[in-house]
A and B are shown apart, each in its own frame.
Chain A
Amino acid sequence: MTTAYLPVTTYKQRVPATRRRDARSSTQSLIVTLCLAVAFGALIAGELLAGRPAGVVAAAAAALVAAVRLRAPLPGPRIHDRELDLVIGAGAAFVAVALLVGQVVAPGRALGVLAVTPVVVAVLAVALGTRRLWHARGIPVVTALGWFLPWAGPLPIALASAGLVGVVALLSVRGRAVRLPGIRGAGVRGGTA
């Protein structure tokens, strides 16, 4: 008889939805803050080196979004999946490494600056979980805009771009940025933000 038994598992479970804030340790918060600070610092340095000083706006906006969204209570049901966190973290890390390699091969495209976005995704997913990553998705979106927008263009374009970053950041802070209705935490008992 085979005895390769596995840990006790259940095939269904009901978990009450709550709005309780995640119990994050101070160490975890410190690590996340440091990682984001390094990422935003790299974003600023990269933008300056690429001759796009307006990119600093993106880093500042991302920091603002992070400061607000990561302090807010986490909405939605208390359903988490560590494996999913690691899958997303690993995928984002792979993309970041590929972009950094691209930075070395083709420095003119500033791919290293773009790598900040998957780094932020990986940090948030692994350290705080996928639900928190989705709740704070404005952070990577704003950092991506920092690379994507034509900062090096004429002043009106740069101002318009900076304005767009500001709008996205503001909406992220208010919780309405880049919302895909329904992919956010479900409308469950206890509601969502």
Chain B
Amino acid sequence: MSTRPSTLALLPLSPEVATARSGPALGARTHHAVHGLADVHPRLSARPAGRRGIGRAGIAGIAALLLLGAAAVAAPRLTAVVVAGVLIAAYAAATGYKLLLVRRAVADDPTIHVSDDDARAATDLPVYTVLVPAYQEPEVVGQLVGALAALEYPADRLEVLLLLEEDDVETRAAAERVIPGTPVRIVVVPPSEPRTKPKACNFGLTEARGEFVTIYDAEDRPDPLQLRRAVVAFRRGGEDLACLQARLSYHNADQNLLTRWFTLEYDVWFRWLLPGLMATRAPIPLGGTSNHIRRDVLVGMGGWDAWNVTEDADLGVRLARHGWATAMLGSTTLEEANSDAINWVKQRSRWYKGYLQSVLVALREPRELYRAIGARGIAGLLLFVLATPVLALLNPVFWFLTALWWVAEPPFVESLFPPVTFYLGSAVWIIGVLAAIHTGIAISRVAGKPWLAPAALLVPLYWVLMSLAAAKAVLQLAFRPSYWEKTTHGLDASPSSIATVPSGSTS
């Protein structure tokens, strides 16, 4: 199902407000960054409902829970059997869907590749805006300047906006020391709630003048030709191509087992799963950085939702439901893999919470969503974006039941799984585990990192961390939906991790 690309009806922003530095106009600019989307299209935003109540989706959810509770009281055993059967069917569907995505990507990778020669031959390059939100990161500002200096793009057409919070005096001082003579310009974001990355990006977007916009984190090491590749890819793409997602990977994969798992997961995600989604024309949950977007479309979409903690994934869904295409770009940005388990759980819980937010927001208008993205799109949204956190949350339940059966063989466990459910569940379990290990080993070779293959053998242990993150995410979704969970960076201290900026590989 295809929809003619469209943008949202939004309140125009005057030039005075768009570049305001002080006074009431600055207040209006800040308000626009926070509420620009939510004020005009509240049903597309994850902004808390506040006094407006819980909404239709909330009522439907509560009604479903009440119904389930009533069924559990009236017929507890039957209800438990049905719930277990439905969950196992969901596992089977999600596992099958992921395998399908991998197959599609492996069989016919739709990622757009632009060779080094073609990238360097590009002429008439447009102004390109790079947004770099940073907070309390004075020590990486120099690294940012180094990475940007490595970008092969004409300096007079490169607009780099370093988005710093007004009260982050240390980072501002460090930035002001190193940016003279570079295309970097500091944009000071006034303090306001929620203090999130998308709000800072929205604030910077109002004064951006590039034809295309991308986001890098301060410590990112993008492929030097990435901007040129994106320009060429946009020119090759159709008129409905609004966004390109470059691959993300990690420069500190070898730091410990956690970073090895994380690197394998990211490589599967950006080399197979997202291209698979692209091939099936399902919405692509964009990664945190290195997504390149046409500025006119981004502004027309209302920018990022300042209230969604995975604003990038949400933007990917919104682009799809308004008929815009997103494609994968064969260019890699290296980031820092989270190497500490507690820090990892915090980061992952934010991602899972954001996925849940994005899906719940999208499902507020299910019929409109179906008309916009069709059955394939909804399948992708449910079996990929929603299933990822939900199945991670459910895993411990089935692990517990399995362990309980091994140690005590209680009859109620046996009664939960009639033959159909039992055999389907066993098949999904075995196939799922083997597929996870196999894809991990395979991607380690495809990505040119065969030394990561042994870590793939232990990858089911990684799921324990995912389950903890999912439980935390659900708790936060209920009580602190827009809370931005802090992620600590700078834990990649090994000298070898200060690796090179990725070359212009398009593999």
Contacts and interface: CB of A to CB of B under 8 A. Distances in A.
Interface of A: 1-15, 17, 76-77, 79-81, 83-84, 87-88, 91, 95, 98, 102, 105-106, 109, 111, 114, 130-131, 134, 180-189
B407 A80 contact: no
Interface in B28-65: 35, 38-39, 47-52
Given A84-B345, A106-B410, A181-B256, A5 B339 contact: no
Interface string B51-83: 110000000000000000000000000000000
23 contacts: A2-B35, A8-B191, A9-B196, A9-B483, A11-B486, A12-B488, A13-B136, A13-B487, A14-B136, A14-B139, A17-B491, A79-B346, A81-B345, A83-B472, A84-B342, A84-B468, A87-B471, A98-B404, A106-B410, A111-B407, A134-B341, A183-B465, A186-B341
B115 interface: no
Nearest to A148: B407
Given A186-B255, A187-B339, A6 B471 contact: no
B493 A6 contact: no
B461 interface: yes
5 pairs of A and B residues whose beta carbons are closest in the complex? A182-B257, A182-B256, A4-B50, A186-B339, A4-B48
Residue in A1, A76, A87 whose Cβ sees the most chain B Cβ within 10 Å: A87
B482 interface: yes
Contact of B258 (A88, A114, A182): A182
B193 interface: yes
Contacts of B137: 12, 14
Contacts of A17: 491, 493
Contacts of B488: 12-15, 77, 79
Contact of A180 (B50, B257, B408): B257
Contact of A76 (B51, B340, B480): B340
Nearest to B465: A183
A77 B194 contact: no
Nearest to B197: A11
B166 to A, nearest CB: 13
Contacts of A81: 342, 345-346, 472
Contacts, number: 160
Given A2-B49, A79-B342, A79-B343, 17 more contacts: A4-B48, A6-B480, A6-B482, A8-B195, A9-B484, A10-B136, A11-B200, A11-B487, A12-B137, A79-B488, A84-B342, A131-B342, A134-B341, A182-B256, A182-B258, A183-B341, A183-B465
A140 B28 CA distance: 56
Secondary structure at the A interface, as helix, strand, loop or mixed, is loop
A30 B135 CA distance: 40
B486 A10 contact: yes
A10 B342 contact: no
B482 to A, nearest CB: 5
B410 A102 contact: yes
Contacts of B480: 6
B318 to A, nearest CB: 19
B348 to A, nearest CB: 11
A107 to B, nearest CB: 11
Interface residues of B, number: 63
A91 to B, nearest CB: 7
B486 A77 contact: no
Nearest to A98: B404
A81 B487 CA distance: 11
B476 interface: yes
B438 interface: no
A1 B48 CA distance: 11
A130 B342 contact: yes
Contacts of A3: 50
Interface string B447-470: 000000000001001000100100
Given A80-B342, A183-B258, A13 B407 contact: no
B133 interface: yes
Nearest to B481: A6
B458 to A, nearest CB: 8
B258 A5 contact: no
A91 B396 contact: yes
B260 A182 contact: yes
Contacts of B38: 2
B259 interface: yes
B494 interface: yes
Given A9-B194, A182-B257, A4 B484 contact: no
Contacts of A98: 400, 404
Residue in A3, A6, A76, A105 whose Cβ sees the most chain B Cβ within 10 Å: A6
Contacts of A6: 48, 193-194, 480, 482-483
Residue in B49, B396, B484, B488 whose Cβ sees the most chain A Cβ within 10 Å: B488
Contacts of A1: 35, 39
Contact of A11 (B196, B258, B341, B471): B196
A98 B403 CA distance: 12
B414 to A, nearest CB: 14
Interface in B120-137: 133-137
A9 B195 contact: yes
Contact of A187 (B47, B51, B468, B494): B494
B410 A186 contact: no
B343 A77 contact: yes
